[in-house]
Amino acid sequence: MGYQSGQKTIFITGGASGLGREVGRYFADKGWFIGIADVNDAGMAESAALLPEGQSSIHKLDVTDRAQWKQAVADFGAITGNTMHVLFNNAGIGEGGPIHEMEDAAIDLMIAINLTGVISGTRACFDMLKNTHDSCILYTASAAGIYGVSDLSVYSATKFAVRGLAESHDIELRKFGIKSRSLMPGFIDTNIISNVVEGTNQSGKERLEEAGVMVSPVSIIGPAAWNAVHGDKVHTPVNKMAKQLAFAARWMPGRVRKQSVSLTSDLGEVLAGSEEK
């Protein structure tokens, strides 16, 4: 079994783990063909092994490399008859710390992957999305794109930018039949928080929960992505934390600032040097 004519298709960046892997699994269960794109060969193979045989393709992709984007999209189109119903523009990394202590290279890489790489993805996939009926770009923003977070300022800024892309493109690309949506998850139990926090014997998840931060199971991301793609709302806060933050940021911004101050050190330590998606 391989791609079947008329089958729905989704191309997922950051598909080797975390949110990308789970969304691929969920959409495959719905009968979709899954394009798995990442820099992690072993992780992509593991993701593909979770899906029905022949229902996925693997594409080596560094999202900061425009030439690789062009090749990966062409290879995907060669399999799917140049159809792409959804681009899940998901790949990203996270690093925390006070802005004056961050290294230039870390800042540049985060912006290159989380923002420039996302823009490159939309541009590389535009023609295929335009030529596919009822297509959609699904961006991974973050609860950190709802209200700025101290000690996560660069990461937060990239997610505000992705939120802006989703809003802009929902208007700009509508005339081409392309919808634009974003997921705005709070903390999800993926590899970003699974490692032990430096200087402690706790995992990131344990550290966050001790600080009163909700961590949700990764299983919630599949239905959230499905509903975002098929719904009318531009932004989808994924878990209770994100929904509460969206409400508070709009109606009680002073309260959000106070809560952020108390959580700053924990969030920064958990995200320091971690891969996000």
> Global pTM?
0.86
User: How many structural domains does the chain have?
Assistant: 1
Identify the three-state secondary structure at position 137.
strand
CATH number, domain at 205? 3.40.50.720
| 112 assigned to some structural domain | yes
Whether the Cβ atoms of residue 129 and residue 84 lie closer than 8 Å to each other? yes
Pairing relationship of beta strands 33-38 and 9-13 according to DSSP bridges: parallel
- Provide φ and ψ at 74, rounded to 5°: -60, -40
| 47 assigned to some structural domain | yes
Q: Print pLDDT tens along the chain (277 aa).
A: 688 989 999 999 999 999 999 999 999 999 999 999 999 999 999 999 999 999 999 999 999 999 999 999 999 999 999 999 999 999 999 888 889 999 999 999 999 999 999 999 999 999 999 999 999 999 999 878 777 777 889 999 999 999 999 999 999 999 999 999 999 887 766 665 555 345 555 445 545 545 556 676 889 999 999 999 999 999 988 876 656 665 555 545 555 455 554 444 444 444 444 444 5
Note the pLDDT of residue 74. 98
Cα 37 to Cα 65: distance, rounded to the nearest angstrom? 13
- Residue 56's nearest CA partner among 3, 120, 112 is 3
| 2 assigned to some structural domain | no
Range of the domain at 219: 9-275
| 104 assigned to some structural domain | yes
Pairing relationship of beta strands 93-94 and 274-275 according to DSSP bridges: antiparallel
Cα 3 to Cα 160: distance, rounded to the nearest angstrom? 36
Q: 262 Cβ partners below 8 Å, 6+ apart?
A: 211
* DSSP structure string for 28-71: HHTT-EEEEEES-HHHHHHHHHTS-TTSEEEEE--TT-HHHHHH
| 172 assigned to some structural domain | yes
Angle (CA) 33-38-44 rounded to 5° is 65
| 208 assigned to some structural domain | yes
| 168 assigned to some structural domain | yes
Note the pLDDT of residue 40. 97
| 3 assigned to some structural domain | no
